[in-house]
A and B are shown apart, each in its own frame.
Chain A
Amino acid sequence: MGEIYRDKGEETGDTGENYENVVGAWPIERGYERGGGATRASRLVGSGGRRYTVGAMATKRLKHTLHAVIYRSDADRVWYAHCLELDILTHGGTQEEAVEMITDAIETMAQSNVRAGLPPLAFRSAPPEDWARLDGAEDIATRVLNIDAAPFSEEITLEPTIARAS
């Protein structure tokens, strides 16, 4: 089992550049995030208490911020939930159920991909008309999924927002 280190920046007050000096740990804000670096890392320091699990081998911790939009379909009498980056659609009887369903769908897909020997997330964007539902949508929930995906360990943040179908 790996050891657990507290953020180095948390102790030193550094703005994140020292993350690379923590043996075997990658800051989770690195990787796919653009415009990251010290600014985003310092936010992590400010949030405090975040820990990295460090094993004998380097463990990459990556973060994907995903967006899901939920909307009511009166015709089908359900709330649809649509993850736009992954084009994953699901539904529930209520808003709350739809949020839980899209969380489960993303996790199910990621785990299935890993079992198939594939990267956990297969990015394929939803059509533009689906992205348009985000306009004016209200953020209602954020979920954090931790997917074990050896040799990667990915932390995925899902940020669903509400949009009502016209």
Chain B
Amino acid sequence: MPVRARDLIRELGQLGFTIEEPSRGSHRIVRRERLAFVRPLHNALKSEVADVYVRKLCRLFGLDEQALREKL
């Protein structure tokens, strides 16, 4: 189920991730140390983040997808 970008970014921030705002375009970077994940937010914080992005993000950073979703 898609999640709201605002909720996801808030939760990632609490987990210690940094979110880089785009200087142009619509891609945001989620970064923790050397690992970075890029995803588009066409409608900024109002965007819905599709399942495929949530899965990829969790896989990259080793997060428990279910646990993350429960906090959103």
Interface residues of A (CB under 8 A from B): 76, 80, 87-91, 101, 104-105, 108-109, 112-113, 116, 118, 122, 124
Residues of A within 8 A of B34 (CB): 116, 118, 122
Closest Cβ neighbor of A78 among chain B residues:
B50
What is the CA–CA distance of A113 and B22 in the complex, to the nearest angstrom? 13
CB-defined interface of B24-44 with A at 8 Å, one 1/0 digit per residue? Answer: 011101010011101110000
B22, B31, B52: the one contacting A89 at CB < 8 Å is B52
Contact A105 B56 (CB under 8 A): no
Contact B56 A87 (CB under 8 A): yes
Contact B36 A90 (CB under 8 A): no
Interchain Cβ contacts under 8 Å between A and B, 17 examples:
A76-B52, A87-B60, A88-B38, A89-B56, A90-B27, A90-B38, A90-B40, A104-B27, A105-B40, A108-B22, A108-B29, A108-B38, A109-B27, A112-B36, A113-B36, A122-B34, A124-B60
Residues of A within 8 A of B17 (CB): none
Contact A112 B56 (CB under 8 A): no
What is the CA–CA distance of A156 and B16 in the complex, to the nearest angstrom? 31
Closest Cβ neighbor of A104 among chain B residues:
B25
Interface residues of B (CB under 8 A from A): 20, 22, 25-27, 29, 31, 34-36, 38-40, 50, 52-53, 56, 60
Q: Which 5 A-B pairs have the closest CB atoms?
A: A108-B27, A104-B25, A112-B29, A109-B38, A90-B40
Residues of B within 8 A of A105 (CB): 27, 38, 40
With A90-B39, A112-B38 given, name 9 new contacts (CB 8 A): A80-B52, A89-B53, A89-B56, A90-B27, A90-B38, A91-B40, A104-B26, A109-B29, A112-B20
Contact A109 B40 (CB under 8 A): no
CB proximity of A129 to chain B, nearest CB, Å: 12
CB proximity of B12 to chain A, nearest CB, Å: 15
Residues of A within 8 A of B27 (CB): 90, 101, 104-105, 108-109
What is the CA–CA distance of A88 and B37 in the complex, to the nearest angstrom? 8
What is the CA–CA distance of A89 and B60 in the complex, to the nearest angstrom? 12
What is the CA–CA distance of A80 and B36 in the complex, to the nearest angstrom? 19
CB proximity of A35 to chain B, nearest CB, Å: 30
What is the CA–CA distance of A76 and B29 in the complex, to the nearest angstrom? 22
What is the CA–CA distance of A101 and B53 in the complex, to the nearest angstrom? 15
